[in-house]
Structure 1
């Protein structure tokens, strides 16, 4: 990224945020991301995927459906409110998600689901994860609990085993716009341990379309205010690292119309208006 004096950068960010906020408010509650179209490399047209976001009459997400290059449904997420503060998200696949092969024409089947318990202030208290076995019995696998700062930003995510022992945790850092700038994941939970994987993020100044979907997630792509333009991960155990970058094309209201990968792949964003 180019080096910009801090005060000028802050003024640019504030001005851009005001513009984007005005555009969002003018849209009203019905403005939503309704589809994303992912295009793989031209040499592999079968990698095309189209994902549809379906909402109920209250503009709450109801289903997320992904079609493959032939137009057949390949995966589906179903959102069911069991009570006023418990949301179940079911993961349906045509093929087992752990399978290395793919068979066409198979029906959708639920392989897993999670149930999220919300606090009164709409923050997530706990998420429990379940696996559906081949005989349709349900196995409880893990749970995740969340800690927050005064701005209701997730500062720590704790993952527990089936017997309630802390298995791993992730610490989050943010910039002044509400973007996750760093995640440190610890799988050694002993006192004084170093993180196993450290990931840092850089962002543009445009509004993140996934926030309009209302997906209550702790994943940076969905929870941050703006769009990720660079993601760097360092595995401190194996000493391996990755560095991924993206650029965007934008609509007149500031929302991204297209995300472009460094290797030529792209993803288009389609909105309700």
Structure 2
């Protein structure tokens, strides 16, 4: 089982709990390919009844059909605003700005009723590592003002960013939770880059990914890697992919670690097509399970 909870994440969680008292709305950025797994349950408990909007980033890498189903799920089942985003092109950012501006207008109206002057809306951006929080802030602010990296945990400190005359944003470090009780969820986070590559087994993760894809549409693997047929077990499928891609060592043995890296990177880069690894029905099942615990 993958486990990773650096000390800075525990500290960040404590700080975030205090900072929640300062903000009017929380923007949670999640990965559209794994909307359920990429939402930190610890953070959701901290947010509680606070006004919230969910941003599903990397929509371009996810299945458009499920993108719409997930938006419908968040709006109908959790009574939250939800927005699809492509942080590379900026698609979806105008919809998010509209939600934030409307929230500002509601708060300003309430302040006016009390005879008080309006102030900037204070919004906090949260999310697990590597879902695109910094990229979103740069889109909202219109300039590259935060550090962006594809290594989990690049943003370590807190910083307020003035987005407009109406909106102020508080960036926060990406925070994972201490223990992954669900193995599939842990591997989904590893596959999407939320967990540092150095602390999980690429080969085991590749087997998981291959099984996920087989369950979705095995033609993806057949077409992408020009395979004549699929073996019954991911172990053998990875070997066939390795042979097709020339991942061979002395004696013709397949370099499984190299082959695993190819499959995982192909998934991360969108070379396997638009893939969503989770369905809204899974979220409903998990909700029922948590209520029964």
Same fold (TM over 0.5): no
TM-score in terms of structure 2 length: 0.24
Bigger RCO (CA 8 Å, 6+ sep):
2
Structure having the higher helix fraction is 2
